[in-house]
Amino acid sequence: MLDILIHGAQLIDGTGAAARRANVGVRGDRIAAVGELTDAEAGQRIDASGLVVCPGFVDIHNHAHAEAEGGITTMPQADNMVRQGVTTLVAGNCGGSRWPIDEHLAEVEQLEIRQNYATFIGHSTVRGKALRGKRAADPEALEQMCRLIVKGVEQGAMGVSTGLPNSSASTNELIEVARAAARAGGIYASHIRDEGEKLLEAVDEAIQIARQAEAPVQISHLKTYGSSTWPKIDTLEQMLYKAADEGLPVTADRYPYTRCFTGIRALARDAASRLLGKKDRTAAETRELLAAIRRRIDFTGGPEHTTLAPLTPAPELDGRTLADYSRDQGLSPAEAVLQLTERGGVSAIYDVMCEANLHRILALPMVMVSSDGHLRIPGRGVSHPRNYGTFPRVLGKYVREEGVVPLGEAVKKMTSMPAEKLKLRDRGVVRQGAFADLVILDPRTVTDRATFEDSHRYPVGIEYVIVNGGVAVAAGETAAGCFGRVLRRH
């Protein structure tokens, strides 16, 4: 006898194969059978006529560990993710993670989590421990860093993540770090050094690292940042195809929006970054600092293209553009950035990407879908809509409405591609014996509803989400059970 029988649906199995009519039977935490199953008895029958059943989504680039914004240990239920159909969260990205890995995973294991949880080791996190105040990584510090990374992967991390803007790590250091992660069985995921002016150089560095370290590489949230970078899309595509032709395991992920979300520090790069940390700045240095910030604001499209988005409500900042805020304060936009940074910073949304390139990046065969999101308390603070809408937005806007990617291909980018990259066994596909991580969606209606103006809104059309055989979303609403597990590399 089956626990659950899903009948009447079109099956999209996650491999990229075309949809076919098949019923899916679940017993315990696994898929017991796929096929006609006409005589099967089941404890629960889900009539999925007119709907699609597919694997649960694996969000390979997520910040669910990040406590400041409400991480997994403070909000293990993570409704904003499960309601999108995410059944596995992969946290610890962009160079920052919790540490030690074994303690963190043991802590999460004690919680009632709604979806599966895995993490990378943040390179910046272990770098700080290995450097112990030193400015550069000498051979001894580098060796220590690599030891920590191997240890972290052995304790179950998926590999190492880097956050390279403003990092002083050399390419050589990164090769060693990637090699250590790969030898232990993990991957190298990278928020590359520059997504704007030096995008192509940064992608080239990531490809070099794959080649020299013999490491699987994931380029995180691939984008062309700033209008002067947009025309580089042709070369970017050629580089990725060339790496693939060479047999290098270089893949990437992307969220389906043209605005990004990060700290206001993103406007204080390079020279500005160096001078910001300097005590007793001279007047000339402050001028240089402001000039560098001004250049970056211009590169980002001007102060009206940056919207302040504090994580905790702050009326003088909430939803104000940098242009509005600097006017309110009687400061120049660069002075306002300096003031906000010195007060501890604030997050902001930057309108820096273009729709045409988003289409092209999403359609690339080596690109997966990721949210780059955080766990959020519904209704609290300004949020990037990707936290609620990433996967349904791809399925609604980019698959059904605009035809950028066929449905089967889009599902593959959300399921088997990330699962294979991370070697998550028996996940990311619908087949007999695999874990019962499943989504039942309505292909006619599925779409996001969260916007930049009204960001805390659940999507529509994600009817059921099943995690390890337990029902986490039923008839479009959050269900009571928590069936997520910690996923370890080994």
Point out which residues bind Zn ion (CB under 5 A).
94, 191
* Of 114 and 191, CB closest to Zn ion: 191
Alpha-helical (H) ranges within 371-490 are 386-393, 407-414, 416-421
What is the smallest separation between the CB atom of 122 and Zn ion, expressed in angstroms?
11
What is the smallest separation between the CB atom of 278 and Zn ion, expressed in angstroms?
25
The CA distance from 372 to 430, in Å, is 25
Between the alpha carbon of residue 349 and those of residues 94, 221, 306, 331, the distances in Å are 17, 15, 6, 20
* Of 86 and 94, CB closest to Zn ion: 94
What is the smallest separation between the CB atom of 127 and Zn ion, expressed in angstroms?
16
Q: Edge-to-edge strands of the sheet including 30-35?
A: 30-35, 23-27, 2-7, 42-47
The CA distance from 291 to 270, in Å, is 12
Question: Which of 269, 256, 246, 248 shows the shortest CA–CA distance to 222?
Answer: 256
What count of other Cβ atoms lies within 10 Å of the Cβ of residue 279?
Answer: 4
Burial label for 1, CB within 10 Å (0-12, 13-18, 19+), is exposed
What is the smallest separation between the CB atom of 94 and Zn ion, expressed in angstroms?
3
* Of 191 and 386, CB closest to Zn ion: 191
* Of 176 and 253, CB closest to Zn ion: 253
- Whether 142 and 178 have beta carbons less than 8 Å apart is answered as no
Residues with Cβ within 8 Å of 52's Cβ and at least 6 positions away in sequence, in order, are 9, 10, 11, 12, 19, 407, 440, 441, 442, 443
The CA distance from 341 to 339, in Å, is 5
* Of 223 and 294, CB closest to Zn ion: 223
* Of 98 and 191, CB closest to Zn ion: 191
DSSP for 359-393 reads HHHHHSTTEEE---B----TT-S---THHHHHHHH
* Of 94 and 180, CB closest to Zn ion: 94
- Whether 217 and 178 have beta carbons less than 8 Å apart is answered as yes
Type of residue at 212 = Q
Between the alpha carbon of residue 406 and those of residues 12, 18, 21, 409, 415, the distances in Å are 12, 10, 18, 5, 14
What is the smallest separation between the CB atom of 67 and Zn ion, expressed in angstroms?
17
* Of 156 and 163, CB closest to Zn ion: 163
What is the smallest separation between the CB atom of 220 and Zn ion, expressed in angstroms?
5
